[in-house]
Amino acid sequence: MSQRTLVLLKPDAVRRGLVGEILGRIERKAGWTIGALEMRTLERGILEQHYAEHVGRPFYEPLVEFMESGPSVALVVEGERVVEGLRALAGPTDPIAAAPGSIRGDFGTIVRENLVHASDSQESADREIKLFFPGLA
């Protein structure tokens, strides 16, 4: 079933020069395509909406500060089961627990600086795509 999902390459991925590596992994999956892509430093307003579910948690404020610390790359990925597929490609939140072969497992060590975001459900994907790409049909 073809789906769309919202992916962010977080500021650590951009700072470390991993944009090409991560985009390459996504593009090489059979039939998956990048439908929209933009690089920009995310502002607090969009991050507050994006991470609304985490408001009040101890990691929330440092997470937002990290996310506004430099440019991110936002993209929409389209294709067969991309919502589940991008979560699998990213690996679990904690990079040390993530298997080698996943993006977080291969490149991360710190929970906060875990390189990528991928929508966790179709409902989240629809909401996040509207938030980051309001002009997209």
End-to-end, the C-alpha distance of the chain in Å comes to 19
Q: Taking CB under 6 A as the rule, does residue 127 contact ligand RTP?
A: no
Q: Which is nearer to ligand RTP, 16 or 137 (CB)?
A: 16
Which listed residue (2, 93, 109, 121) binds ligand RTP by CB under 6 A?
93
Q: Taking CB under 6 A as the rule, does residue 111 contact ligand RTP?
A: yes
Which listed residue (27, 31, 38, 59) binds ligand RTP by CB under 6 A?
59
Q: Write out the binding residues.
A: 10, 59, 87, 93, 104, 114
Which listed residue (118, 125, 128, 133) binds ligand RTP by CB under 6 A?
118
Mark residue 56 as left, alpha or beta (left: phi above 0; alpha: psi -120 to 50; beta: remaining). Answer: left
Q: Which is nearer to ligand RTP, 89 or 118 (CB)?
A: 118
Tokens standing for 1? 């079933």
CB atoms within 10 A of CB 72: 24
Residues linked to residue 37 through DSSP beta bridges, in sequence order? 75
Distance in angstroms (rounded) separating the CA atoms of residues 24 and 39: 16
Enclosing H/E stretch for 126: helix 122-132
List residues near ligand RTP by CB under 6 A: 59, 63, 93, 111-112, 114, 117-118, 120
